[in-house]
Structure 1
Amino acid sequence: MRLKGYDELFQRINSRTDIEENILQTLDHFPKDINQILEILKNKYNDGKIIMERDENGIVTSYPNDVDKLHNFTIRRKTKFIPILEHKHEYIEIVYVLQGTFIQEIKGRQIQMNKGDLCILDRNVLHSSLPLGESDVVVNITLTPKFFDGIFMYLLSDKNYISNFVINSLYSKSKSQNFLNHHVKEGTLIQKILENLLLEYYSTEERSTAAINGYFLIFFTELSREITTRTGEGIKDEQHKVKGKILKYIRDRYKDIKLNEMAEYFNFHPSYLSSLIKKEFGKTLKELLIEVRMTEASKLLKNTDMTIDNIVLEVGYTNSSHFYHVFKKTYGMTPNQYKTNVIKKDI
């Protein structure tokens, strides 16, 4: 049965769980040791919902379980009355405060979230939180890497702040971890989207995955618009820096450039890097590479006694015919004609 409105949704979300009843009954005797709490969460309170393991450094890592993998997203209300120990995830997590406050520590920084506050956590960000009280209501939205495969191209085509955040989180090999905070104002489109997303998700009998995916796509789009408006100049400055680095990389390595290796160097997904290059330069990587190679070839023709066959190899071509074709298309004449006509004029 579909939920009729926010009040009914809130009542369903905020119903006390068996886990919370058990915690309250044993609160005075609840263990403080991290290992004991971890075992309780995994065994007594888990019910197949949480997969937590320690890595080689002793850090607790949460992994997508079978339900997460099946649907690629999960929405759960955070359990009250219990501290959440320092841990990290192998998925993106969105934390949204419906009521009350939520205090968490992210990368050693304590942050208080209030009603309407939203936080998106990158994979592998170390974080913990203080216990929620009776009146605090916070939902967790977890999104696996596979979830974004479905809306990846839509996010990518917008080339926005959120797409960059998501792509770097899920598809790059960067070791850096990020998070972003945002306040969702009452009555805004984002607030309505989140409300409808929760209504759809918790209307279990009539839940539509297609509708949920649609809400997520609109949510990320609108969120990016608000964040880009708020931090637009900073984003432009960062893109300008990346543009210069990309051009330097191409000039330094024009003889042998592979998109995948270049993407790994910049910690970008190859598709995102291609899109970014097109946006910043108005040209594809292939077109930029040709431009740099032809410029270098003309310099070698002007300033050295190298044979054309050697120049072909020097600028990264293995096929002389292809080099001649590209050179003539660029300069309107063959390399020999260029060497004869252009260089003589310069002299």
Structure 2
Amino acid sequence: MLVCIKIKPFLFPHQIGEHFMRLKGYQNLLEIINKRTEIEKYLKQNPEMVSKNSKQQPLFIENKLGDNNSKIIMDKDGEGIITSYPNNEVKTNKFAIRRKTKYIPILKHKHEYIEIVYVLEGSFIQEINGRQIEMNKGDLCILDKNVVHSSLPLRDSDVVINIILTPEFFDGIFMYLLSDGNYISNFIINSLYSKSKAQNFLIHHIKDDSLIKIILENLLIEYYSTEIKSSAAINGYLLILFTELSREITYSTGELIKDEQHKVKGRILTYIRNRYKDTNLNEMAEYFHFHPSYLSSLVKKEFGKNLKDLLTDVRMSEASKLLKNTDMTIENIVLEVGYTNHSYFYKIFKKTYGMTPNQYKIKLTNQRNTKTE
């Protein structure tokens, strides 16, 4: 059952007709971003309405703030875990930045998008996959799709930002970043692979003198002080952010992510072995929920050859097995391994094994006869 939780958005000065200027530095950003919303004012005045284990939390929010300006699309599974989906605005922009609401516990949930959690001020405690983690000022957490998490209420002094990134966000200019094979790209690859049962997260502390901190602050200033947001500027900041994060993530953390990426390689190979007769790049990309260009580069990086050559290898291997282990005619084998052009099959087979299928079959027969003598 799908439900919509209606949340009244906080209006910044430029959205209510006041004179608007670009934010001037971190303190100015903090003043704007940390202004109390209507829901926070209500929660502050009525703390008894919120319970850590309250099952009425979504209903409570919907009843108190009934306007249609913003909707979070949610679904609850059989285990009671809520899944959040990108709304139309997020789908269109492919990203969004939100400040985490204070004073209210966030119940167990998961997302159909990648989320970056960054602590600007204070601290808070969240539970990820059953593990309780305290995040302090400067800590950054990247959550992949469908990882189950929750958090305890934020206090007055806590300021936490959520950056939402849809899978489509990583198309286009981010394609080459994802093909670099670095730690962050490996994490994103595994996250975007929706069939994966392993949900992961990364936590990294951003130092005060770090370039990443400067990038994040400028990203937030751009997002919160510009009436018409510059997607080019935001994309630029995010691209640099991922690049710098990949440089700072430790080797050991990177290896763990890389292990998960190798599992994706195995699934791709299994898919090819099962579907080699009739699959193609676009069908594979749709199955794995990857951009076709990215899937092509991933296959090339992991297997050292393009998809066409990989499919040819599998087809030739299967043809060899059929010639060796069955009495099928060569004509039937050609069709069985996914070819319709017999001449092309003969050409590729000879190039692979150095002889025609007939010669190959005769050689196998002679070898068997020699062993029985």
Q: Pick the aligned partner of 1:203 from 209, 214, 225.
A: 225
Distance in 2 (CA, whole Å) between partners of 1:171 and 1:249 is 13
2:231 paired with 1:231: no
* Partners of 1:42 and 1:52 within 8 A in 2: no
Tell me: CA distance 1:36–1:20, structure 2 relative to 1, closer, same or farther (3 Å). same
**Could you tell me which residue of structure 1 aligns to residue 57 of structure 2?**
37
- For the pair 1:111 / 2:144, whether they are aligned, the reply is no
Aligned ranges 1:302-321 → 2 under 5 Å:
307-321=329-343
| Cα distance change on mapping 1:278 and 1:20 into 2, 3 Å | same
Query: Would the aligned equivalents of 2:119 and 2:161 in 1 still touch at CA under 8 Å?
Result: yes
Task: Measure how far apart 1:300 and its partner are.
Answer: 6.2
In structure 1, how many angstroms separate the alpha carbons of the residues matched to 2:29 and 2:218?
Answer: 10
Please list every run of 5 or more consecutive structure 1 residues that lacks an aligned counterpart in the other structure. Answer: none
Match of 2:160 among 131, 138, 156: 138
Aligned: 1:219 with 2:247: no
Contact conserved, 2:187 with 2:258, CA < 8 A, in 1? Answer: no
Which residue number in structure 2 is paired with residue 285 of structure 1?
Answer: 307
**Counterpart among 36, 43, 55 of residue 16 in structure 1:** 36
Cα offsets for 1:288-338 (capped at 9, x unmatched): 332344355557667887654344345443321111222343455544566
Once the two structures are superposed, what CA deviation does each residue of 1:75-94 show, in whole Å capped at 9, x if it has no partner? 12222222222223333221
**What is the 5 A alignment of 1:72-111?**
72-111=94-133
Residue 61 of structure 1 aligns to which amino acid in structure 2? T
Tell me the CA shift for residue 112 of structure 1. 0.6
Query: How much identity, in percent, do the aligned residues show?
Result: 69
Partner of 2:93: 71
For 1:171 and 1:294, locate their aligned partners in 2 and report how far apart those are by CA, in whole Å: 28
Structure 1 vs Structure 2 CA RMSD: 3.6
Stretch of structure 1 that moved more, 51-60 or 331-340: 331-340
Q: TM-score, normalised by structure 2?
A: 0.76
Larger helix proportion, structure 1 or 2?
1
Distance 1:37 1:186 in 2: 36
Cα 1:147–1:306 shift into 2, 3 Å: closer
Alignment partner, residue 290 of structure 2: 269
Partner of residue 51, structure 1: 72
**Paired residue secondary structure (2:207):** coil
Which stretch shifts more, 200-209 or 242-251?
A: 242-251
Whether the 8 Å contact between 2:186 and 2:258 is mirrored in structure 1 is: no
State how far apart, in whole Å, the 1-side matches of 2:347 and 2:89 are.
Answer: 56
In structure 2, C-alpha distance between the alignment counterparts of 1:65 and 1:118, rounded to whole Å: 24
How many correspondences in the alignment?
A: 345
- The aligned amino acid for 1:25 is Q
1:123 aligns with: 145
Alignment CA distance shift 1:82-1:241 (3 Å) = closer
Distance (whole Å) between structure 1 residues aligned to residue 100 and residue 236 of structure 2: 24
Could you tell me how far 1:121 is from its partner in structure 2? Answer: 2.0
Q: How far apart are residue 98 of structure 1 and its match?
A: 0.8
Deviates more, 1:142-151 or 1:107-116: 142-151
Q: Among 327, 340, 344, which residue is 2:349 paired with? A: 327
1:185 to 192, 195, 207: 207
Q: State the one-letter code of the partner of 2:27.
A: D
**Counterpart amino acid of 2:234?**
I
SS of 1:205's partner is coil
Residue 15 of structure 2 corresponds to: none
**Compared with structure 1, are the counterparts of its residues 326 and 139 closer, same or farther at alpha carbon in structure 2 (3 Å cutoff)?**
same
8 Å contact from structure 1 (residues 50, 63) kept in 2: no
Letter of the aligned partner of 1:131 in structure 2? P
Q: Secondary structure at the match of 2:209?
A: coil
- Structure 2: which amino acid aligns with 1:106? I
Residues 172, 269 of structure 1: 8 Å contact kept: no
